[in-house]
Structure 1
Amino acid sequence: MARKSKGRQKVEMVKMNNESNLQVTFSKRRDGLFKKASELSTLCGAEIAIIVFSPGQKVFSFGHPCVQTVLERFVSGNPPQAASGTMKLIEAHRNTSVRELNMQLTQ
């Protein structure tokens, strides 16, 4: 039996001329990009900030924990302050582990 379609074809990487197709492709790819960023953040605990300007000059952003926090950390070059709940939890766990190890060493 012969195939009716050619299957999935490779898309040539050049700017689209059709404005309607350009907007649709931008929306789909933006959603896919934000979804992958969310997965990376969830699976690896990465802090992520993405800012995208659409062809229509609208701004879209995604950030975890938030765009502002990640940008401030990037611009300043300093590690984040232990203000977030997650950071406090990690630090408390670390302190507990250090305390337990110190107790084992002293015994």
Structure 2
Amino acid sequence: MVRGKIQMKRIENATSRQVTFSKRRSGLLKKARELSVLCDAEVSVIIFSQKGRVYEYSSSDMQKAIERYSKYIKEVQNDKPEMERYTQQLRLEAANMVRKIELLEVSQRKLLGQGLGLCSVDELHEVESQLERSLRNIRARKERFLQEENAKLSEKVIPSFQNSIHIFTTSHES
């Protein structure tokens, strides 16, 4: 039989609430002990009931666990300004990257011929210069590629052509 899903809200009936508290408290303390034993973890649990009673479990000395926790909290709070500065630095870097991306997108649109109606004459000259540089680079790359392809073809064709000449000349000599 499957239990129904319990809605997470305050139990209004005081008796039911107390029974649920007792059962769940016992289960929570049991899980803390199991976690401590199975994982060799230092576990401490403090539970304050609605009536002010304290229930606790600690796999080691509770006072040492509280002192260790307090020390940890102080260290985290001491590191907080540094973390805030680092977070602020990351935010600034992210904002700068967003601006750079926007500028690159605008530049790309201009190079593709979009949004040129709002450009000044100087901006149009700059776009033209960029396009001419790109075209020169493309033509140079294409020329290198064609030269490499011609060299490869020459390496393949010349030996087979020489073999053909050799065969032709030897057949005419006989």
| TM-score, scaled relative to structure 2 | 0.39
Q: TM-score, normalised by structure 1?
A: 0.62
Structure with the higher helix share, 1 or 2: 2
What is the match of residue 56 of structure 2?
61
Is the Cα–Cα contact under 8 Å of residues 48 and 67 in structure 1 kept in the other structure? no
The structure, 1 or 2, with the larger RCO (C-alpha pairs under 8 Å, 6+ apart) is: 1
Deviation at 1:40, TM superposition (A): 0.5
Is the aligned partner of 1:11 residue 2:9?
Answer: no
Bigger Cα Rg: 2
RMSD (Å), alpha carbons? 1.3
2:32 equivalent in structure 1 = 37
**Count, aligned residues:** 72
Question: Equivalents in 2 of 1:16, 1:36: separation in Å?
Answer: 23
Higher-strand-fraction structure: 1
Where does structure 1 differ by over 6 angstroms across 4 or more consecutive aligned residues? none
Cα separation, 1, equivalents of 2:41 and 2:18: 29
CA contact (8 A) 1:64 1:70 kept: no
1:76 and 2:71 aligned: yes
**% identity of equivalent residues:** 43
User: In structure 2, how many angstroms separate the alpha carbons of the residues matched to 1:40 and 1:15?
Assistant: 27
Q: Does 1:47 align with 2:42?
A: yes
Structure 1 residue runs without a partner (length 5+) = 1-5, 78-107
SS of 2:52's partner is coil
Q: CA deviation at 1:70?
A: 1.0
